C-alpha cells in the first residue's frame, strides 16, 4: 500500500510538470492548429535562465519570474517571425519550420552555455519532509504548488479577463470573434506569451528537481507533450491537463511494474497508441 501511495505521489509530480509544458502546446494548437514543437526549446530556455539568474542573485524568487517573462517574450517573437508569415500555408509548413527552430535553439544553447550540463551552485529548496510516512523533497512540493498556482491563474485569466474571454471566443469561432471587434493578433500574442511562460516555469522546476540543465533537455518533453495533447483531445486544455496527470501516474507505476517490457519514456507512446486504437479523437474530445 505504501509503495502504491509513493508511486501515485511521484506520478502526480511528473504529471504536473508535463501539464505545464503540454497546456501551452494545447493552447497554441487550439488557436492556430499548428504543432509548436519549438515550445520545448522555450522549456529548456526557462531552465537555463532560472539557473543563471538564481546563481547570480542567490534567489529563486528572482530566477523564476525572469525565466517566465523572457520565455514568454521569446514565444511572442517566435510567433511574429516564424509562424505569422506562413499561417496561410498547409499545416506541415509551420511544423517543419518549428522543428528546424527547435534544433537551432538546441545548438544555440550548446554554443552559449556549453555542451555539458550546468548545475546550481547552491541548489534551491534543499531538504525533505515526511508526509504520511513518505519522504518528499521540498523541491517536489514546490513543483506541485507552482503547477496548481500557475494553472489556476491561467484558468481565472481565461474565465474572468477580457483577453481571456476574447481568446476563448477566437478558439471557438475566429471569424465571429473578429467581426465582434476582437483583435485576433492581440489574442495570438497573449496566447504565445502565456503558453511560453508556463513552459519556462516547467523548465525551472525540472532544473531544480534534477539540479541539471543541458541543451538537449527539451527532446523528451517535446514528444511527450505531443502525446499528451493527442490523448487529451487536440486543442482541449482541460483534457490536456487530465491527460498529463494520467500519463505521469501511468509512467510512475509502469516504471516499476513494466520495467522489463517498456522503458519509462516509451510508456507515453504506448499509451498514445493504445488510446488511438480505441478513441482516435483522444480521451476527452467529442467524436466528429
| 138-149 confidence digits (pLDDT tens) | 888 888 899 999
And the C-alpha cell for 259?
Answer: 520495467
With 0-12 CB in 10 A as exposed, 13-18 as middle and 19+ as buried, what is 288? exposed
* SS3 state at 213: strand
The enclosing H or E element of 95 equals helix 92-113
| 217-260 confidence digits (pLDDT tens) | 998 888 888 888 888 877 778 888 888 998 888 888 887 877 77
The answer to whether the CB of 20 falls within 8 A of the CB of 150 is yes
* SS3 state at 246: helix
| 153-201 confidence digits (pLDDT tens) | 988 888 888 888 888 888 777 778 888 888 888 888 999 999 999 999 9
Amino acid at each position: 500500500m505504501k509503495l502504491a501511495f509513493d508511486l501515485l505521489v511521484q506520478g502526480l509530480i511528473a504529471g504536473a510538470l508535463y501539464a505545464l509544458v503540454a497546456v501551452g502546446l494545447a493552447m497554441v494548437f487550439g488557436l492556430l492548429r499548428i504543432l509548436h514543437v519549438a515550445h520545448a526549446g522555450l522549456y529548456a530556455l526557462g531552465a537555463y535562465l532560472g539557473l543563471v539568474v538564481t546563481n547570480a542573485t542567490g534567489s529563486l524568487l528572482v530566477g523564476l519570474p525572469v525565466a517566465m517573462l523572457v520565455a514568454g517574450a521569446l514565444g511572442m517573437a517566435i510567433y511574429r517571425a516564424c509562424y505569422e508569415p506562413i499561417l496561410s500555408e498547409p499545416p506541415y509548413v509551420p511544423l517543419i519550420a518549428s522543428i528546424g527552430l527547435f534544433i537551432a535553439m538546441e545548438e544555440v544553447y550548446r554554443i552559449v552555455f556549453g555542451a555539458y550540463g550546468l548545475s546550481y551552485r547552491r541548489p534551491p529548496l534543499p531538504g525533505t519532509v515526511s508526509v504520511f510516512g513518505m519522504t518528499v523533497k521540498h523541491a517536489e512540493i514546490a513543483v506541485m504548488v507552482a503547477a496548481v498556482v500557475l494553472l489556476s491563474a491561467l484558468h481565472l485569466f481565461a474565465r474572468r479577463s477580457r483577453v481571456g474571454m476574447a481568446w476563448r471566443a477566437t478558439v471557438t469561432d475566429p471569424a465571429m470573434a473578429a467581426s465582434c471587434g476582437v483583435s485576433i493578433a492581440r489574442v495570438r500574442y497573449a496566447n504565445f506569451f502565456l503558453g511560453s511562460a508556463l513552459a519556462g516555469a516547467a523548465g525551472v522546476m525540472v532544473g531544480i528537481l534534477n539540479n541539471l540543465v543541458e541543451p538537449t533537455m527539451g527532446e523528451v518533453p517535446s514528444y511527450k507533450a505531443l502525446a499528451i495533447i493527442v490523448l487529451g483531445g487536440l486543442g482541449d486544455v482541460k483534457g490536456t491537463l487530465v491527460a498529463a496527470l494520467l500519463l505521469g501516474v501511468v509512467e510512475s507505476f509502469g516504471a516499476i511494474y513494466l520495467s522489463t517490457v517498456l522503458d519509462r519514456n516509451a510508456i507515453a507512446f504506448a499509451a498514445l497508441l493504445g488510446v488511438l486504437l480505441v478513441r482516435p479523437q483522444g480521451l476527452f474530445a467529442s467524436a466528429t
